[in-house]
Amino acid sequence: MKKWKFTLGVDVSKLTLDVSCSELNAHIKIKNGSEGFIQFLKWCRKLKIDFQDVFLVLEYTGGYEYKLLQFCEAHGIVYARIPGLAIKNSMGITRGKNDKVDSLRIAQYGEEKHKSLQPSKPLNPVIMRLKELLNFRKRLVRENAGYKSSIKEREHMYEKNKKDILVKSFNQKLKANTKIIADLESEMMKIIAHDEQMKLNYTLITSIKGIGKVNGLMTIAYTENFTSFSNPRSYAVYVGVVPFDHTSGTSIHGRKRVSHIANKELKQELNQAARSAMVWDKEMNVYAERKLETKCYKIVLNNVKFKLILRMFAVVKRGEMYVENYEKTA
């Protein structure tokens, strides 16, 4: 593995980027976009940082980092996207949130782990398009939830009145959004169909009870067709399913808990998948019933989500459809 002269750590947010250089103990805060990248170029020139000698490390956010990664690829900067929890665990006990400090810690993490860190593969434009469509779909789904709530509220307060202009307007928007959502899903399925490997993996994971169209599309997009995560556990950490040991102060006996550093949208969709699997999958149903005798529903649901992730990675690895072979013994 090449020994890099400069390790840059980046704390990514929707609007800004905090960049720190571990070796020079230097920091800059820039906008997350073309204006900020011009400022970044000037900063690097001032510090005599040659991009050929740079290894850039950042958290995998699932979207906010894409502009930066496109910039890196255009300028030949090697980068590695790391799950946030891996970086968090390496920091030890930290208090408070400070973007400048976080970016320096990420840089230090990259400097310490550079021998074991693998540079990330270039962005896949097809995956980026899928995520773009999924994000727009998410926005419309949220809008629809608001319209449904408003309709229900008005009907409750003023009784059912078909002539109510607001209810009529909400219903029209609801209908229009529902049509667009269907069109978006159709477009995403066409994208999947035009890529043989994506089509195969989508077919494999949706053979699992509980994993429907939306879960299948989101899993393909956010695993980048099972290339961004080396194993199911690392993906489960990213989704916020796998619990980890929590320590505080001098105590090392804290309860295991699921990290809040997670992709909440994926986690929410997996909730629906797990509930469905607990009803329609015989093995999951028996497993959940047994666990519910001693565990709370939330923990059992989380365990089922992890099992679904294990199954998805297993069928993709084997290249075979999931086959339910459970038989309940007397």
Closest CA to 107 of 24, 51, 178: 24
Sheet with 78-82, strands from edge to edge, namely 26-31, 16-21, 6-12, 54-59, 78-82
Q: Indicate the pLDDT class of residue 3, thresholds 50, 70 and 90.
A: confident
The region of weakest confidence among 30-44, 155-169, 264-278, 312-326 is 155-169
Give the model's pLDDT for residue 96: 46
From CA 41, how far away is CA 53, in angstroms rounded? Answer: 14
pLDDT value, residue 249:
35
Instruction: Please write the tens of the pLDDT for every residue from 190-227.
Output: 999 999 999 999 999 999 999 999 999 999 999 999 98
Q: What is the rounded distance in angstroms from the CA atom of residue 330 to the CA atom of residue 319?
A: 33
Quote the percentage of the chain above a pLDDT of 90.
Answer: 60
DSSP-derived 3-state class of residue 94 = coil
The model carries a pTM of: 0.79
* pLDDT for 100: 74
Q: For residue 50, what pLDDT is reported?
A: 95
d(CA 186, CA 263): 24
pLDDT of residue 157: 76
pLDDT at 245: 44
Q: Which alpha helices (DSSP H) does 223-326 contain, by range?
A: 232-239, 264-280, 282-291, 297-318
Contact, 240 vs 263, CB < 8 A? yes
Element (H, E) at 45: helix 34-46
The pLDDT tens digits for 227-260 are 888 789 888 988 888 754 443 333 334 445 555 5
Query: Whose CA is closest to 40, among 23, 53, 57, 26?
Result: 26
- Is the pLDDT assigned to residue 62 strictly greater than 70? no
Contact 222, 134 (CB under 8 A): no
Q: Residue 316: what pLDDT? A: 97
Q: Is the pLDDT of residue 180 over 90?
A: yes
Average pLDDT, the chain: 86
Higher pLDDT, 253 or 13: 13
**pLDDT by residue (tens digit) across 257-313?**
555 556 788 899 999 999 999 999 999 999 999 999 999 999 999 999 999 999 999
Q: What is the C-alpha separation between 65 and 62, in angstroms, rounded?
A: 7
